[in-house]
Amino acid sequence: MTDDPGAGARGPVSRRRALALGAGGAVLLAAGGAGLLPDVPDARTGAAGSEPGRTAGAARAAGPFEPARAAAVLARRAAAVRSGDRAAFLATVADAPAEFRAAEARRFDNLRRLPLGGWREELADPRPAADADADEVVVRVRTRYRFRGFDDGDAARVRHLAFAPRSGAWAVTGDGSGHGFFDDGAIWDAGPLTAVRGRACLVVGDTTGLDDLASLLDAAVPAVTAVVGTGWARRAVLLAPADPGLAGDLADSRTDVASFAALAAVTPGPGEGPGRDRVVVSPATFGRLNDLGRRVVLTHELTHVATGGARDGTTPLWLIEGFADYVGYRGTGVDVRAAAAELRREVAAGRPPARLPAADAFAGGARRLSQAYQEAWLACRMIAERYGEATLVRFYRAAGRTPLTTALRDALGLTPARFTALWRDHLEKELT
């Protein structure tokens, strides 16, 4: 046992967030990237990429597959998206099965509904994923895009396209799913999209209530800025797919997607640089929150965006989540005992926590997940009440640059043991 408030193995930023504000919760998870994968044998034939009824001779008739051939097709597709030429875009998949053509038509229509400031598809690697004599080649494609007025750099998603010889050339004939390859989720894979632009936000989805989400997010931006200052973009992109599975894909969430209401995520960039921040909402779960819960959840997630919590690998997890809850609850007038009901029952029963929660206490399956969030929130609330909000912000920023012991000493003049003792006293005062 240790008195160190930052003790515990460093894990990912919290994957599930339960609120005592109505059903549901929120998740915070940094999205991951992707690289080039090799081809795998086709289960239909046992051969890499073979299509029944076709032979390697057809590939030779079209000439050996070369990356430049695929790149030229991808360039035509990107130009068609940018110009709005639906016929030209669909011409690139004219030799694909009807189901794939229909899916590509839906994607094109959705892309044209978005405020794209850039769009292109490029080979993620110049090498084909199959032998040059194979009839079908699966290549990995990196889609680069940005939302005009919101992204200051490209975001990237990865998908797989199958190319096969048709009429003396190589044409797109499908995706890579038949070969064991699966794509990153993208909002344009949803149903018919609507894009709502608020004063400081862009909300994109295929569900109802997008105007309300934009209003909530517009209100959250100044609420967050009032605490953290103006040193962030002060704008946000929110994605609201009706399908909870797609919501999980957009967040790269590996937990039960039906359990989260909203989350902050980072869509990877095209290289080693920073990705683009997003807030992802799972509408079915978010819809079960009451009005206060919706406000707190979106303000909480936007705090992660504003402070880099979706990217942070240094600040203790209890401080990341407790600070976001402090901002989320600030000004709501919420009753502390009601909002921390689970922790209050433990304290009233004579079982107060001995130390601040470690990183694994915020894991999706953690037994005391609600209590971990409540403990973290009340720790930050105690700092603000005892030392002032500006000191809380200063402490939060210091903890991202220096060891926690140093941050406690420099910002609060406390040792870890003394901080823990003050926090435990605060719990007793607030919850009994």
Q: What are phi and psi of 160, to 5 degrees?
A: -125, 135
Residue 328: closest CA among 280, 278, 381, 372: 381
Angle of helix 210-228 versus helix 291-307 axis, rounded to 10? 50
Question: pLDDT (tens digit, 9 = 90+) per residue, 266-305?
Answer: 998 887 777 899 999 988 889 999 999 999 999 999 999 9
Report pLDDT for 213: 97
Report pLDDT for 366: 85
- Check residue 411 and report its DSSP letter: I
Residue 236: closest CA among 150, 325, 149, 156: 150
Question: pLDDT (tens digit, 9 = 90+) per residue, 152-166?
Answer: 999 999 999 999 888
Report pLDDT for 130: 56
Residue located via tokens 């029944």: 52
CA-atom Rg of the chain in angstroms: 25
Residue located via tokens 């011409």: 91
Residue 282: closest CA among 15, 20, 24, 18: 24
Q: What is the C-alpha to C-alpha distance for residues 362 and 26, in angstroms, rounded to an integer?
A: 12
Report pLDDT for 136: 83
Query: Do 322 and 379 meet the contact criterion of CB atoms below 8 Å apart?
Result: yes
Report pLDDT for 126: 57
Q: What is the C-alpha to C-alpha distance for residues 122 and 74, in angstroms, rounded to an integer?
A: 7
What is the amino acid identity at position 100?
F
Report pLDDT for 310: 67
Q: Which residues of the chain have pLDDT under 50?
A: 1-4, 6-60, 131-133
- Cβ neighbours of residue 46 under 8 Å, at least 6 residues apart? none
What is the amino acid identity at position 88?
A
Tokens read off for 17? 């967030």
What is the amino acid identity at position 348?
A
Report pLDDT for 313: 77
Q: Is the dihedral of CA 72, 74, 75, 80 positive or negative?
A: positive
